[in-house]
Structure formats: C-alpha cells, structure tokens
Structure 1
Amino acid sequence: MDNIIIEFKNVHYQYPDGTKALKGINIKIPKGKKIVFLGPNGCGKSTTFLQMNGVLRPTEGDIYYKGQLVSNKKKPKKDLWKEVGFVFQDPEIQLFSANVYEEISFGPKNLGLSHEEIRERVEEAMKDTNVTDLQQKPVHYLSGGEKKRVSIADILAMDTEVILFDEPTTSLDPKHIEALMKILEELHEGGKTLIISTHDVNLAYGWGDYFYIMKEGAVLLEGDHQEVFKQKELLQKAHLEIPWILEIYQYLLDNNKTKVLQPPRNKEELLSYL
C-alpha cells in the first residue's frame, strides 16, 4: 500500500493494571482509504485507536504519522489530535457543552482560529451532519441518533485528515445507521482517511477497502475483502461470521444459479446475479 499516513511498528501496550491490550501490532494505513478493524469486544480495537490519535503511548514499539515518529517518549507529538480525530462509541463521553453550537465550536476554538473561521467551520459541520436546526438545543436533550451526529460534527469542525470511528453504529436503529453511512461516504469522497472499528461483519464487508481482523490484542488477518472473507477458519477464531451476502453468493455458485465469479459487495450486486 502506497502513501502511508499512519504506521505501527511492533506496538505493545499494557494498562496500569497489568492488562496486555496490544501485542506486537504492525499496521500501515494508506491515505484516503476506508479501513476497518474487525473483532469482538476486548480484542484491542479501541486501544489501537487511542494510540492512533495520541491519547495513549505504546509501552513498546513505534507509531508514525506521515513518516514522522510521534510516539517518542522523550519528545512525543502532543497535538496529534489536531490531525487524527476520534468519534467515540458513546457520544456521552464526547459531548459536554451547553448547546449544540457551543459543542461543535469547542475544538476549532482550541485551534486558535478567528471568530469567522470558527463560525464557517461550525456551520459547515452542522450542515454536513444535518444538525443545523438543533444548534441551540441543549446537548442533554438530544436523542441518541442526534448525539451521534453532533459528535461527528465535533470532529468535522476540526477538519482532521484522519477520522476514527469506534463502533459507530452501536445503539443506532436502521434509519440512523443508513444516515451515518451516508455521512461517511461523503467524507470519503471529500478525501478523508476513515477508520472504523466494529464487530458487524455485514456492515464492514460492504464498506471497507482494507481490513484488519483482531483477536486478543494482535492482528490475526489482514487484506482486502476478497483476501479476508474467504478465510472462514480464521474468522471463526476471531468469533466472526461470514457476511450473509457471501453465504448466499456461495449457495448460488454451488447450485449453478450464477456464473459470476466476482463476489458481490452489496445487496444490489447480489440481486443482479440472479
């Protein structure tokens, strides 16, 4: 993969209580791609993300951003959050201001931008996430889906080059998941590097460009959708299932109901094979 924006070299991390959360992680994230970290709860996905934006530092190993070492303990890069935004799984952790406008403006204010630049960024972020009508609403009165969109707007207003989404669809209903994925697609089309963690293989399969399968703090498997999702035994080791689209596609192949050898990525492609 060319044009690497984030790289981990043999990264280990141990929490103060002795829990070994990461065990020799080696990853390369290419700029402008849609990357998915798949695995069950507790496999190290969230810890990996906290390393990516500088909240945590490796116990051992090195992390690079655009080729620059950012995990040096003697001289760490303290403002990595300006480059790598993090949308938390639970928006309650992220949201704290009195109303939506103040919430979204908090990050840009800390960048030292002018009042005009802050206003422009906040208005654009609200428009992109469809929360403009909520700008004066108290944050604690928002619904779950609204809080998720505002938490995304928080990061959009920062205009970070990379955005991390930790389990972005958790607790969302199908309508809000569809709206969220539309936002992600628009961000990708705008040139952002997007990285999500999830245990939802069906969502991941149809969305991602490149996949890292994690288990017990290590990368068990990596590759594109064709390389990863044919490894049924390794996916089972990570307590993951085969996407339902691939199961149906394999049934069609086995029963001579299709001759298309390219696995479908979504429901529309699958139906076109019939």
Structure 2
Amino acid sequence: MIPLRVREIGYAYEDGPVVLSDLSLAIPAGRALALLGPNGSGKTTLLRLLTGGLVPAAGRVELHGVPIRHDRKGLAELRRAVQLVVQDPDDQLFSASVAQDVSFGPLNLGLAAAEVRSRVAEALAALGISGLAERPVHLLSFGQRKRVAIAGAIAMRPEVLVLDEPTAGLDPAGQEALLDTLAALRAAGTTVVMATHDVDLALRWADDAAVLAGGRLRTGPVEELLADTALLAAASLRPTWAHAAFAVLAAHGLAPAGLPRTPAELAALADLTHRSS
C-alpha cells in the first residue's frame, strides 16, 4: 500500500529559481525513508509539499491515491493522516505548557476530553517526557522542546510522520532516545520519513533512501543507494563509514556476509574475525 505519493511535481518560490521539477516519489506503508541531499536541493520544500504546507506549481500529491485538495477540508484530512515536525521546535511550539501544546492537535479534531487526555499521556510517555507535562515550554532545553514537538505530532496518531532534520542539535544520548522512539512508532505501524544530512544515520535507521541531487531524485534500498559513490558525490554527501569499512575488509579477504550498519555490528564482526584467526 502507498499512503502518500507525489507525481511529476514541480515548485518554484516567487521570484526565485525552480526548486523541484517533474519529481515523483512513492512512500510505502510501514517503511522508514531517509531523504538526503545538499543544502538548497529542495528537501524541506518537498517535505512541505508532502504535508500540504506548499501548493505544487505542477503535478500533484496523493493521499491513498486521491489528489489532496488545498482547501480547509482537504488539508484537515491530510493532517489527520500526515504530520510534519520541522527542524526548529520553536517554529512549532506556541502553548504555555507541554501538555497544552501536545493537546492542541487532538482538540482541533473535536475529540472528547477523555480521548484528548489519553492521547497526550500516550504521546508524552512515548517520548519519555511524561514528567514535563506541566512544565512551561519556554523553560525546556532544546532537546526537550524537540521531543515535545514530536509528541504533538504523534498525538494525532498519523499514518505518516515526516521529520525535517530531527537529530540536529541533539547530543548522542538524545539521538539514541529519539531513534528508540521512532523504532517503537514503526513497530506500531507508523510510516516515517526523515530528511537528514547524516548518511551513517540514514544507513543505520532507514529501509529506503531518496537522494536529491541536481534537481533529480534517485530512490531505492538504502544500503544499495548509499553504496553509489558517484551519486553521493553529486549530492555533496560523503561515503558512509560502513561502506568504507566493508571495502577495507573486502580488500583483506574478510568481507562479511552483510554490511555492518552500526559500530556495535562492526565490533561484533571484528571479534568474530579475531576468534576465527
């Protein structure tokens, strides 16, 4: 099933150059998609088109095969199914307290008060911030504000969660906690799209990749796409450490059966190689 798709989409900002042209992308249900590309390639523009924040100049965005309408009813339907979390949480948070901010979306759905409270509690627990429910938003750290912004999105229980550079500004512990949360959401059936510059994160986390370079979009399995050094160079992306390590191992006749995606997997492989030698 393809819940979200763009067909031959194009977009240019007023008095600016064309950002996207004749671009198509299908986002399969239940998958994790990493969107990569250099600054200015159109990643954020594409995310805003996917989530209804921008109107395409050409082509269309489809939700369950039906073109979305950019009127009040059409956008409300889209945002029940697809939620965007922007890069800077201060662009998304505006309520006095954490619980108030997370409850904003469910309240706008017209849900009963008990259902809203349940969704808020569930979202805060998923992000590990239940203890912050009554905390004023302006007193939170940057990482905490990011988690509140994501909680507000998942309180809507979207089919597709779209995140723009969600790990930017987070320390390593914050990144690990966020990835654990995304893994739990995926296990529950949420489709996740993440724009990132971090090729190692993309390889570790995603099933599929979409690489924007030179106005073109290449898609495919993440392990295969990020092995294409010419594509990475065109997108101003460096090779992943995993592919580099694999090449060194292969040169010494030690290529493993599968590509190690994390330092832990590489360490385990090194330990196994040491024991067999």
Shorter-chain TM-score tier: over 0.9
**Structure 2: which amino acid aligns with 1:227?**
E
- Over the matched positions of the two proteins, sequence identity in percent amounts to 37
Partner of 1:240: 237
CA contact (8 A) 2:37 2:212 kept: yes
CA distance in 2, matches of 1:116, 1:9: 40
- The counterpart of 1:31, out of the listed 20, 29, 32, is 29
SS of the equivalent of 1:242 reads: coil
- May I ask how many residue pairs the two structures share in their alignment? 269
Partner of 2:44: 46
What pairs up with 1:1-274 in 2 under 5 angstroms?
3-71=1-69, 77-79=74-76, 80-219=78-217, 221-256=218-253, 258-274=254-270
CA distance in 2, matches of 1:226, 1:118: 40
Deviation track 1:180-225 (CA, whole Å, cap 9, x = no partner) reads 1111111111100000000110111111101000124431x22112
Stretches of structure 2 that go unaligned for 5 or more consecutive residues are 271-277
CA distance in 1, matches of 2:230, 2:251: 19
TM-score in terms of structure 1 length: 0.94
Deviation track 1:114-145 (CA, whole Å, cap 9, x = no partner) reads 00000100011111111111111110110011
CA distance in 2, matches of 1:25, 1:32: 22
CA distance in 2, matches of 1:144, 1:96: 14
CA contact (8 A) 2:202 2:222 kept: no
CA contact (8 A) 2:30 2:186 kept: yes
CA distance in 2, matches of 1:218, 1:76: 32
CA contact (8 A) 1:21 1:216 kept: no
**Structure 2: which amino acid aligns with 1:109?**
L
SS of the equivalent of 1:77 reads: helix
SS of the equivalent of 1:147 reads: helix
Deviation track 1:224-273 (CA, whole Å, cap 9, x = no partner) reads 123202210111010001111211111011022x1424222222322233
| Larger displacement relative to structure 2 (264-273 or 231-240) | 264-273
Deviation track 1:34-70 (CA, whole Å, cap 9, x = no partner) reads 0010111211111111111111111001211111111
CA contact (8 A) 2:10 2:56 kept: yes
SS of the equivalent of 1:4 reads: coil
CA contact (8 A) 2:5 2:61 kept: yes
CA contact (8 A) 2:127 2:147 kept: yes
CA distance in 1, matches of 2:86, 2:127: 16
Stretches of structure 1 that go unaligned for 5 or more consecutive residues are none
Deviation track 1:9-38 (CA, whole Å, cap 9, x = no partner) reads 110011122331211111111001000101
CA contact (8 A) 1:235 1:241 kept: yes
| Larger displacement relative to structure 2 (157-166 or 226-235) | 226-235
Deviation track 1:164-187 (CA, whole Å, cap 9, x = no partner) reads 010011111111111111111111
SS of the equivalent of 1:98 reads: coil
CA contact (8 A) 1:8 1:64 kept: yes
SS of the equivalent of 1:171 reads: coil
**Structure 1: which amino acid aligns with 2:205?**
W
Deviation track 1:84-111 (CA, whole Å, cap 9, x = no partner) reads 0011100000000011111111110000
SS of the equivalent of 2:212 reads: strand
